[in-house]
Every structure is written in C-alpha cells, then in structure tokens.
Structure 1
Amino acid sequence: MVHETFPIPAPMFNGASRRVDVGNVFDWFRQGWAIFLAKPGVWMAMTIILLVILSGLAIIPWFAELAACLLTPLLAAGLLLACRKVERNETLEISDLFAAFQSHSGGLVMLGVFYMLVMLGGGLLGTLPSLLLCMLIALSIWFASALLVFNRLPPVDALKASCHACLKNFLVFLVYGLISLVLCFFAALPIGLGFLVLGPVLAGSVYASYRDIFIAV
C-alpha cells in the first residue's frame, strides 16, 4: 500500500493565462499609480539610479547594447519584486531595485542572453523581419521575468508563456502600448522629468497586468 505524505505538494504552475477585457488596461494604470503613491520618494530614487546605470552604459556604445540586454531582465525583476513588497505593505527600500541579483540571477541572465542573441540576429535581417522579430521579443520578454521570479518557471517556459499570454490579449496590449506612448510623450516634455513618475507607474502597471492575466486564472 502506498501512503500519501502530507502536505501533498501543489502542482507546478504550467504558465496558464487568461484573456482579459480592454478596459482592464485602465485598471492596470490605476494600480500602477497607487503603487507609486505608496512610496513616491523611493520610487523616484530607484528610477534615477536606473537612468544613471543606463546612461553610464551608453558611454561605451558597442558594449551598452549587450550589457543592457543582460541587465534588463534583472532590473525589471527588481522593480516587480518592489511592486510586490508595496502590495504586501512591506517596507520598500532603494536596494530592492537589485533584489533579483541575489536570488534569481541565473535564470534572469539566461533571459538576457536570449534577448541579446535574438537582437544580434535581428540585425542581419531585413526591415520587416526585424520589426516582426522585435515584436515577438517584446511579447516574450513582457512577463518572462515575473514568471521566472514569482512562478519559478524555467527561462524557456517563461518566454513561451509570456508570448502566448500576450498574443491571447493582443488587442489589450495594443491599447496599452498606445496609451503608454502618449504618456511617454508628455513625460518627455519637461526635459524628461516626467519619467521619474511614469517609470514607476509603468512598472506597477506591468505587475498589475501580470497579476490580472496569470494569478487570476
């Protein structure tokens, strides 16, 4: 006779996602704004540090793109972890921006390597194929960091689940992208200072979209 051991482990998350309404986009931005308002000073400080890092990388042009590809998943995961801390009413700290470097660096670096290789490959293609490739990269990367950090999905599975979820909600993300472009236009007007607010709001909206499309399944 086989005896069950308790507690019985929960089944592994399989990357299942759901289709949402276009109107949910506005809820994502509202939640992003609320996450920012919970600790605006810390969020703006993290954004400044992020901008300084990216500006510093730009000093060496040929190195900047490669380094940015590797760092993007790590820094994005740090922002998402910070969003979760706010959601849980935990104390938000500037160092949370680098939280993923300590706990999830291996898988996130693999995501960055994938991003880097695909971007390099895209430079060898024509204009239209490159645009399509960039779109697929964006869809694959969008939720990949969150799925790897929060759901422990392997990098390849996280990329697949992210792409599938975004394609399932293509119209929703088209609306999200258009609204984000408009917001970026206005954020850039006061010599870019608006990004100190918009950056954290967008990070919060990405976290909200992840919670809506995956956690609510």
Structure 2
Amino acid sequence: MSDTAQPVPELATANISNNTSPLLRSEPHKVAAGRGFSWLTEGWALFMKEPLVFSVMSVISLVAIFILGLVPFLGGLAITLLWPAMMAGFFLAFKHAKQQQAVTANDLFEPFKAPANLLGVGALYLLAGTVLILVLGIVAFMSLGSVTDIMNGNIDMGRLAVGGILMLLISIPASLALAMAFVFAPVLVHQHQVPVVAAIKRSFAGSLRNILPFIVFFVVLTVCLFVISIFVAIPLLGWLLGIAVAIVYLPLFCGALYCAYCDIFLDHNSAEL
C-alpha cells in the first residue's frame, strides 16, 4: 500500500471547496518506534509556544469535568459525550501553534459550535464502553456460579480465579482497542469532516500500524509520571508540583497526540504541518 498523500473519497468535496485544505494520506503512515519519544518532546515544544493559554484551556476543561462529575449519572454521561469536542478544541489550538497562528482559549470552544458529529463519536464511545462493561459483568457473574450458589455463599474459588483471569484477558485488549479506535477520531471528524464511523476505523488502523511508537510513548510518559510522583510526596512543594502537573498534563498529552496525528495521517508536505 502506498503512503502517498491523496484525497480520500469521503473528503473529495471538502478539498474541492477549499483548495488550501491539507490532504490526508490515503492510508495511515507507519513511523519508527523512536517517534513515540519525539511526540512528547515536540508536544512540549508546541505547549511552550503559548504555555499560559494552554494552561488556561486545561484549567477550564478540568473545572468543567469536575463540575459535571458532581451531577449523578447525567454528569458522567455528559463527560463521555462531550470529551471528543474538547479534544478537537485542543487539537485545533495545537494546529494554530504549529502554523504560527494565534492560539486563544476560544479554540477550545470552537468545536462546540457544530458538535453533532463529535457527539456521535462520544455516543459510539459510550456504546462501546457499555458493551464492554456488560460483557465483563456477565463474565464476573458466571465466575461466581449459579444464583443458588451465590445466595448460599458457595463460591468456587478456582472458578472465581479463572473468571478473574478471563476478565483481564478481555478487558486489557478491549480497552486498548477502544482507545486506539477513538483517540484520533475527534480530529479527523472536526478538521477533515471524515464521517464518524470512517474516522473511528481510520483512527484504529493508524494506531494499530504504529503500535511500537505508541508503546515507547506510553512507557516514557509512565516513567516521567513515576519520577514526578516521588517529588509530589514532598510536603507543600509536592502539592504545588501536583497542581502544576495536573494543569500541564492535559495539554501536553494532547500536544503529543497532535504530533502523532501529523506523523501518521498527514502528508509531510501538507500545509497543515
């Protein structure tokens, strides 16, 4: 398969109507494993172009998530449906930063002006997550035995252990697949008008094709967070450091993912880079 950039069929109309619109690759590009580390350093460099603005966007997002989280059931539902629009806002801001354009907190809210397709991404994410939880719930229930056994307290520990292992074998790959399918869907829907289902498929294909750089990415990120957690234990200074990390982590993570998106989905000669 060729990685030559060309308009994909569903984007033909958008590219005709806007000659300056950058092109997606016909197929997601495969990059070297070491790019996983570069995504973090490049994401940090983009963050440092407008650290105050990105920090304000992070605070707004975290406060909104906290407030919504206080609302029983509906709050969690709203967060699940709205996170793609929030991610699209961060990706738009990093696009502006990379193109040397003005970055403002308004970038965060721009995707909410026409959120229908992004809400569709959130709805499918909710559906997939619900199905996974139901499957895990069924496995957990079956590992406990029959209803009569449960009521009588007759629990087969061997069966329970097998059920626990089975839940791990299902939940870990399923959760990873879910993350890969949805991580780039918001930016593909928002910036390229890719249909929701097609964006999810493209996101999964691009992530799967670059599983090695993503492993490097998450290993480096985990090590960094572990080192930071040691200093967070320091009284007072640790609190301040923890707050700073909480504020910086979200935009840094989104910035790194934006760099990954540029590597995997865009032509390197495209205007969007």
Q: TM-score range by the shorter chain?
A: 0.7 to 0.9
Q: Does 1:108 align with 2:149?
A: no
Contact map agreement 1:78 1:100 (CA 8 A) in 2: yes
Change (3 A) 1:63 1:47: same
> Where do 5+ consecutive residues of structure 1 fail to align?
1-7
Contact map agreement 1:140 1:160 (CA 8 A) in 2: yes
Q: Does 1:214 align with 2:257?
A: no
State how 1:1-12 maps to structure 2 within 5 Å.
9=16
Contact map agreement 1:15 1:161 (CA 8 A) in 2: no
Change (3 A) 1:100 1:185: farther
Q: Counterpart in 2 of 1:69? A: 80
Paired residue secondary structure (1:38): coil
Q: Residue 118 of structure 1 aligns to which amino acid in structure 2? A: A
**How far off is 1:187 after superposition?**
5.1
Match of 1:131 among 172, 185, 189: 172
Q: Counterpart in 1 of 2:212? A: 171
Match of 1:201 among 232, 244, 252: 252
Contact map agreement 1:187 1:195 (CA 8 A) in 2: no
Match of 1:33 among 20, 44, 48: 44
Larger Rg: 2
Q: Counterpart in 1 of 2:56? A: 45
Match of 1:158 among 196, 199, 215: 199
Q: Does 1:143 align with 2:184?
A: yes
Paired residue secondary structure (1:125): helix
Query: How many pairs are equivalent?
Result: 209
Partners of 2:200 and 2:209 lie apart in 1 by: 14
Contact map agreement 1:15 1:158 (CA 8 A) in 2: no
Partners of 2:125 and 2:107 lie apart in 1 by: 23
Paired residue secondary structure (1:123): helix
Paired residue secondary structure (1:153): coil
Change (3 A) 1:15 1:115: farther
Percent identity among equivalent residues?
A: 29
Range that drifts further, 110-119 or 146-155: 146-155
Q: Residue 74 of structure 1 aligns to which amino acid in structure 2? A: A
Partners of 1:88 and 1:14 lie apart in 2 by: 19
Q: Deviations over 1:144-193 (max 9, x none)?
A: 11111222210000000010111111121122122222333455533432
Change (3 A) 1:27 1:48: same
Change (3 A) 1:174 1:95: same
Range that drifts further, 56-65 or 150-159: 56-65
Partners of 2:188 and 2:111 lie apart in 1 by: 13
Change (3 A) 1:207 1:61: same
Contact map agreement 1:25 1:175 (CA 8 A) in 2: yes
**How far off is 1:69 after superposition?**
1.1
Partners of 2:38 and 2:221 lie apart in 1 by: 14
Partners of 1:15 and 1:40 lie apart in 2 by: 34
Partners of 2:101 and 2:89 lie apart in 1 by: 15
Range that drifts further, 157-166 or 167-176: 167-176
Q: Counterpart in 1 of 2:30? A: 19
Q: Residue 99 of structure 2 aligns to which amino acid in structure 1? A: R
Question: What RMSD, in angstroms, separates the aligned Cα atoms of the two structures?
Answer: 2.2
**How far off is 1:68 after superposition?**
1.4
